[in-house]
Structure 1
Amino acid sequence: MKESKCLEFKSAITNSFLKTVSAYSNFGDGEILFGVNDDGSVCGIDNLEQVCLDIENKINDSITPKPDFEIEIDEIKQTIRLMVYEGQYKPYLYKGKAYRRSDTAFIEVDQAELKELVLLGSNLYFEELPYGKDNLTFQELTDKLMEKLNLNAVSEDILRTLGLFTKNQKYNNAAALLADENSFYGIDIARFGNSINEIRDRETIAGTSILKQYDAAIDMIKRYYQYEEISEIERKKVDLIPETAYREAIANALIHRDWSMNAHIRISLFSDKIEIKSPGGLPRGITAEEYVNGDISCLRNPILGNIFFRMHYIEMFGTGVRRILLAYNNAKVKPKFEITDHVISVTLPVITNQYHVTGDEARVIAALENGEQLSSSEIAKATGYTKSKVLRLIDHLKEKDYIRVTGKGRGTRYSL
């Protein structure tokens, strides 16, 4: 038995477990086993009944609001199991601070996470909060609705149906994000030359409708990654990067980002790829694996998501990543997804049917082309190279985003 994200061992009763209680109450169910060492070995606890009472009193006296928990005693092993359940009335604070799990430690949440917990505790999304200004105009939204939905006019009742008003009949943040002018950050687009020090073009679109931001981002791919090829009498459009994949990535960045963060979506254009970085990390309730597999089950901004869906900017909810991958089905180099607590990064490579590698790197690629996940030792055996040389070549191929790494230590495996 090992510690995990939802299981912690405590050999003794100290106040440090209260940070764990705060984290589990805020971010997901978890267990604490008292009387167990860090390595999983049982050391036991004396006076089990009194210790249970102490644990309960510490929680009730130190965590606000009161969390939902249960305590069980194992009299044979002399251990105590504390089960903490994610609560509805977030944030759950210990000494005025909220905590979350980070690897094997529990750390204080930052300001952005605290804001999100407060909204969750109020059963609200950021986009539902009142914007604070009533003099909003919606010409961009009106034009798009009339074009996409064949409407003759857009009335206030339609805006209300779309969810752009609070219960007090005030514009909410979703309305402001769709308005012609607002106070929100937007998209920062930069086109680079041979290095990030060589900026050939740059445009920042902020304080305006996200529909206008979307169109401006699409214009960039048309300008720099599309051209026409004439063959005899036929004129054919060529996409260096699939436009369908790019459209999905931009739409996802706009409707899934955390709009409470004062940061731009950053789009970096390179000769061989486009990088799209969206502030806010994953919405709560979604794991990185579920995101990459296209299994998104909840939206951070459901009002915006619904409007993008109605306008056909996105297909069914949760299919965006799969559509991106499908656009690269026959390409050698696939899209790359990187997820941290505060940023989702999507890299869309230029479509290519061949790897740009040295002769030595090509032998490593060939060893992996059957689709298997191999260890460095297995690659060394297949190529005839030493293991140290294989690891150097793998590092080079990782920099080119040609190789995927899974596992750690002796369980590390490599695949294309």
Structure 2
Amino acid sequence: MDKYLDLIKTIVNKNSEEEWFEFKENLQNEQVIGEYISALSNAAAMCNKEFAYLIWGVNNETHEIVGTKFDFRKDIKNEPLEHYLARQIFPDTDFSFKEIIIDGKRVVLLEISSAKNNPVSFNGVRYIRIGSSKVNVAKYPEREAKLFEVLRRSEKTIESIESEYQDLSFERLFTYFAGRGISLRAETFKKNLGLITKDGKYNLLGQLLSDNSHIPLRVSIFSGKTKASLLYSVKEFGNTCILLSLDKVMEYADVINIIQADESKRIVSRKDVALFDMSAFREALINAFVHNKWIYKNAPMITVYSDRIEILSRGTLDPKQTIEGFFLGESVPVNEKLSDIFLQLHISERSGRGVPKIIDVYGKEVFDFRKNSIAVNIPFNRISNINDSNINEVSNKKPLNARRKKILEELRNNPNITQAQLSKIIGVGITAIENNIKFLKENGYIERVGSNKAGYWEVK
């Protein structure tokens, strides 16, 4: 507690109260305390402070330490005060109470983390400090704009985060741009595309567009409607320039988007019906790439179920975005530089038609806004006998019996496992293992990478 003892003494010795700390003697009202958490957290960001402080037991006028009877361990309607406050604070902001005795007098200090990325609100209202006053920031639009600007500058982005990999190459990026009729200059492309930090180091955007992004991107196919069902295959499309990853996923979607023959009410010719709308899928996938929170070092997640494809991007709506604006196509890019590159390459467009296109085909209900992600579920339009039990046909694979499923599971868990080890685990002879391995290879379930002695199994 010596740290906080010294901190309190330093603060009370200041000539005047500043916006990132506040003195109270016996403030008890939980609503007002919550408002101060919002105001002080936002003020700390404005003052470039890591923490803000609300201190009980200090006279506001004289800064004299007088002690306090404030009990931060009390309950609010059978709920601990800390839980009550945390439940109504958004986004989740770290704060903690400390109890210190100074010259025999009890002082309570509330340490509040500075706002990061988004302004902090309490009970749906954002507060800020103006001098020593606590106010609703919405009533002061210029200060609110300033707060957003400060938070935007301090927010970690794919341009500001230095890549942990500095030996990057960009041959595939040059080829990709050339294929779109754009020539990159070796001397200037890093700066022009925003691939380096202010210190001249490759940033995360540079890593994402390099020949090896070091970020996996997979398409998983399940036999049923949930991940509790059998996992049939996992296709890897990552660890390369994400522009190529995007194209590869598009190509794979074309493969699984089987064309069904609708012979109902047939008179002369039959009607061909796709499993899902490719245009809507394309818009959802591009949005997932552009708006994904790549700073988490995770790619979008694409999952194929028996009744739908789910495209999940990390992160939530930008704080300047509303649900209404999102559905209307008012795009607020999470990754501005990446969005500019997509526009330059004509992968996406500035018109904001992507989301409205998806809604026009499938409705708003396909969007699922979760705590830390946004998912789009593209439903399948099945008109033939394709069902949950033969999803293998979608991935062009023959169904597996129980033994082959078990072998596949062991290979997925241990790609270096030997046939002798499999023989012991499965409980059959080497010949039976060899025959089943051959079946799995010939039907595209597995592939041997490297030599028989030093290689490993890759499960598709």
Could you tell me the TM-score, scaled by structure 1's length?
0.55
| 1:95 counterpart residue number | 111
Q: Among residues 255, 279, 286, which one is paired with 2:290 in the alignment?
A: 255
Equivalent-residue separation in structure 2 for 1:134 and 1:180 (angstroms): 12
RMSD: 4.5
- Deviation of 1:201 (Å): 1.7
Please tell me whether the aligned partners of residues 45 and 150 of structure 2 are also in contact (alpha carbons under 8 angstroms): no
Aligned letter for 1:253?
A: A
| 1:302 counterpart residue number | 336
| 1:348 counterpart residue number | 378
Please tell me whether the aligned partners of residues 229 and 235 of structure 1 are also in contact (alpha carbons under 8 angstroms): yes
Please tell me whether the aligned partners of residues 218 and 247 of structure 1 are also in contact (alpha carbons under 8 angstroms): yes
- Deviation of 1:180 (Å): 1.0
Unaligned runs of 5+ in 1: 1-9, 29-52, 58-89, 107-115, 354-416
Instruction: Describe the shift of the 1:263–1:26 C-alpha distance in structure 2 as closer, same or farther (beyond 3 A).
Output: farther
Instruction: Describe the shift of the 1:128–1:318 C-alpha distance in structure 2 as closer, same or farther (beyond 3 A).
Output: farther
Q: Among residues 259, 264, 275, which one is paired with 1:240 in the alignment?
A: 275
1:170 lines up with 2:201 in the alignment: yes
| 2:258 counterpart residue number | 226
Aligned letter for 2:36?
A: L
- Deviation of 1:23 (Å): 5.6
Equivalent-residue separation in structure 2 for 1:337 and 1:26 (angstroms): 35
1:312 lines up with 2:346 in the alignment: yes
After the TM superposition, which residues 132-211 of structure 1 pair with which residues of structure 2 at under 5 Å, given as runs? 132-148=164-180, 150-151=181-182, 154-183=185-214, 185-195=215-225, 196=227, 197-211=229-243
Equivalent-residue separation in structure 2 for 1:334 and 1:12 (angstroms): 38
Equivalent-residue separation in structure 1 for 2:45 and 2:379 (angstroms): 35
Instruction: Describe the shift of the 1:352–1:292 C-alpha distance in structure 2 as closer, same or farther (beyond 3 A).
Output: farther
Percentage identity across aligned positions? 23
- Deviation of 1:219 (Å): 2.4
Aligned letter for 1:136?
A: L
What is the CA deviation profile of residues 332-381 of structure 1, one whole-angstrom value per residue up to 9, with x for unaligned ones? x765112133111111112479xxxxxxxxxxxxxxxxxxxxxxxxxxxx
After the TM superposition, which residues 109-128 of structure 1 pair with which residues of structure 2 at under 5 Å, given as runs? 120-122=152-154, 125-128=157-160
SS of residue matched to 2:293: coil
- Deviation of 1:217 (Å): 1.6
Aligned letter for 2:295?
A: S
Aligned letter for 2:39?
A: V
Instruction: Describe the shift of the 1:27–1:273 C-alpha distance in structure 2 as closer, same or farther (beyond 3 A).
Output: farther
Equivalent-residue separation in structure 1 for 2:45 and 2:278 (angstroms): 37
| 2:10 counterpart residue number | none
Equivalent-residue separation in structure 1 for 2:44 and 2:355 (angstroms): 28
Please tell me whether the aligned partners of residues 217 and 239 of structure 2 are also in contact (alpha carbons under 8 angstroms): no
SS of residue matched to 1:137: coil
What is the CA deviation profile of residues 267-303 of structure 1, one whole-angstrom value per residue up to 9, with x for unaligned ones? 111232111111111123112222222112x211111
| 2:359 counterpart residue number | 325
What is the CA deviation profile of residues 9-62 of structure 1, one whole-angstrom value per residue up to 9, with x for unaligned ones? x9678644321324665999xxxxxxxxxxxxxxxxxxxxxxxx959x9xxxxx
Please tell me whether the aligned partners of residues 335 and 348 of structure 1 are also in contact (alpha carbons under 8 angstroms): no
Please tell me whether the aligned partners of residues 252 and 320 of structure 1 are also in contact (alpha carbons under 8 angstroms): yes
| 1:17 counterpart residue number | 35
| 1:273 counterpart residue number | 308
Aligned letter for 1:18?
A: Y
Instruction: Describe the shift of the 1:92–1:241 C-alpha distance in structure 2 as closer, same or farther (beyond 3 A).
Output: same
Instruction: Describe the shift of the 1:222–1:13 C-alpha distance in structure 2 as closer, same or farther (beyond 3 A).
Output: closer
Please tell me whether the aligned partners of residues 91 and 121 of structure 1 are also in contact (alpha carbons under 8 angstroms): no
Please tell me whether the aligned partners of residues 186 and 265 of structure 1 are also in contact (alpha carbons under 8 angstroms): no
Unaligned runs of 5+ in 2: 1-27, 47-58, 64-92, 97-109, 127-147, 384-460
What is the CA deviation profile of residues 164-202 of structure 1, one whole-angstrom value per residue up to 9, with x for unaligned ones? 22333332211111101133x343311111343211221
Aligned letter for 1:281?
A: T
Please tell me whether the aligned partners of residues 34 and 122 of structure 2 are also in contact (alpha carbons under 8 angstroms): no
Equivalent-residue separation in structure 1 for 2:190 and 2:311 (angstroms): 30
Could you tell me the TM-score, scaled by structure 2's length?
0.50
After the TM superposition, which residues 6-45 of structure 1 pair with which residues of structure 2 at under 5 Å, given as runs? 15-22=33-40
Equivalent-residue separation in structure 1 for 2:268 and 2:203 (angstroms): 53
- Deviation of 1:205 (Å): 3.5
Structure showing greater radius of gyration is 2
| 1:76 counterpart residue number | none
Please tell me whether the aligned partners of residues 274 and 348 of structure 1 are also in contact (alpha carbons under 8 angstroms): yes
Please tell me whether the aligned partners of residues 45 and 151 of structure 2 are also in contact (alpha carbons under 8 angstroms): no
